[in-house]
């Protein structure tokens, strides 16, 4: 199975001057260009896709839409692909119009503490890792031998690394992914060696002709 995790395009919440806290908002004009460039490029490199999954947050939905059109495939929205802190501890999503704000500490600093402490049922980083891990393991069982695209968020890609690399609770390396960057994992059913291969991380050739911000 080939699992390609794709971070969403630039959203308003990615902007340095964003001051409205955690919100479910869509793509900027640049983000829309990134999503379109991604769709036009990826169909020339990955010619056949068996399933397209996406977080149901707006920035992921809008990034997945051009992919669905390019491949003529339906999007399966999955709450487990939402960004860290946007679900409760039992993995159910907070309402888009009433998302909790993050605490004043980084998730990897206190992995067992709720990342959104103002909400009683907020998830910890470890809850987040569980839901991302459950998604990955379900893909292995459901899509053996197939190619899957999953449009998600930077935190989801980091948690995927933690799950696949079997990292403990306290991560020592931050994994950065640019907007619409592609991370490609391959699941290999081999009895005597590693079952996962990392083929590439943060692949962004499709952005070569688009002016990028200094930070995203």
Return the exposure string of 145-177: e unless at least 16 CB atoms fall within 10 Å of the residue's CB, then b. eebbbbbbbbbbbbbbbbbbeeeeeebeeebeb
pLDDT over 70 percentage in the chain: 97
Q: CATH class for domain 2-207?
A: alpha beta
Q: What is the mean pLDDT of residues 93-97?
A: 95
Q: What is the mean pLDDT of residues 111-116?
A: 97
Judged against a pLDDT cut of 70, whether residue 27 lies above it is answered with yes
Q: What is the mean pLDDT of residues 18-31?
A: 93
Helices (H) and strands (E) in the chain, counts: 4, 6
In angstroms, rounded to a whole number, what is the distance separating the alpha carbons of residues 76 and 64? 10
| Residue of higher predicted confidence among 16 and 207 | 207
Q: For the chain, which residues make up each domain, given as ranges?
A: 2-207
Q: What's the CA dihedral at 71, 76, 77, 83 to 10 degrees?
A: -60
Q: What is the mean pLDDT of residues 146-161?
A: 98
In angstroms, rounded to a whole number, what is the distance separating the alpha carbons of residues 100 and 86? 7
Q: What is the mean pLDDT of residues 134-152?
A: 97
Which helix (H) or strand (E) element contains residue 128?
A: helix 125-142
The confidence score (pLDDT) of residue 169 equals 95
The confidence score (pLDDT) of residue 216 equals 55
The confidence score (pLDDT) of residue 107 equals 94
The confidence score (pLDDT) of residue 194 equals 92
In angstroms, rounded to a whole number, what is the distance separating the alpha carbons of residues 1 and 185? 8
The confidence score (pLDDT) of residue 209 equals 86
Average pLDDT, the chain: 95
The confidence score (pLDDT) of residue 145 equals 94
The confidence score (pLDDT) of residue 20 equals 85
Q: Is 113 buried (19+), middle (13-18) or exposed (0-12) by CB count in 10 A?
A: middle
| Tally of CB atoms within 10 A around 195 | 12
212: pLDDT confidence band, cut at 50, 70 and 90? Answer: low
Judged against a pLDDT cut of 70, whether residue 191 lies above it is answered with yes
- The tokens describing 110, both together, are 């206190």
The confidence score (pLDDT) of residue 213 equals 60
């Amino acid at each position: 199975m080939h699992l390609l995790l794709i971070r969403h395009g630039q959203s308003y919440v990615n902007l340095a001057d964003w001051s409205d806290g955690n919100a479910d908002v869509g793509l900027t004009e640049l983000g829309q260009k990134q999503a379109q460039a991604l769709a036009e490029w990826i169909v020339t490199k990955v010619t056949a896709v068996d399933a397209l999954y996406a977080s149901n947050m707006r920035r992921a939905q809008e990034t997945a839409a051009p992919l669905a059109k390019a491949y003529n495939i339906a999007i399966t929205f999955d709450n487990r692909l939402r960004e860290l802190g946007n679900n409760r501890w039992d993995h159910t999503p907070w309402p888009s119009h009433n998302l909790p704000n993050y605490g004043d500490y980084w998730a990897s600093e206190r992995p067992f503490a709720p990342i959104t402490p103002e909400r009683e049922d907020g998830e910890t980083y470890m809850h987040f890792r569980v839901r991302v891990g459950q998604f990955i393991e379900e893909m292995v069982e459901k899509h053996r031998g197939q190619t899957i695209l999953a449009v998600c968020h930077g935190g989801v890609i980091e948690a995927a690394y933690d799950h696949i690399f079997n990292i403990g609770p306290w991560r020592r390396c931050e994994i950065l992914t640019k907007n619409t960057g592609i991370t490609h994992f391959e699941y290999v059913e081999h009895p005597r060696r590693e079952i996962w291969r990392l083929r590439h991380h943060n692949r962004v050739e499709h952005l070569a002709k688009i002016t990028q911000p200094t930070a995203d």
